Amino acid sequence: MRISDLRERLSLSFGESWAPSFSQDIAISELGSLTVNQALEAGHEAHEIWKAVCKQCPVETEKFK
């Protein structure tokens, strides 16, 4: 998965206005309490990040698993 695909899925799941805030502010437990942006900067693969987001937010991401 490319980073652009991850960003698109986040926008589709959380809305274009909230996805950037989610990526910057919400810590994901599966990623060691890193945010999406921090995980990308730390070198985590986009597909790993998406799986972690899906696990933490199953209702919002249901359509895109």
Distance CA 31, CA 49 (A): 7
Which band of pLDDT confidence, cut at 50, 70 and 90, is reported for residue 48? Answer: very high
Domain boundaries, the chain: 3-64
pTM given for the model: 0.92
The predicted structure's pLDDT at residue 64: 77
Q: Distances from the Cα of 29 to the Cαs of 16, 17, 24, 33, 34, in angstroms?
A: 23, 23, 14, 5, 7
65 pLDDT higher than 80? no
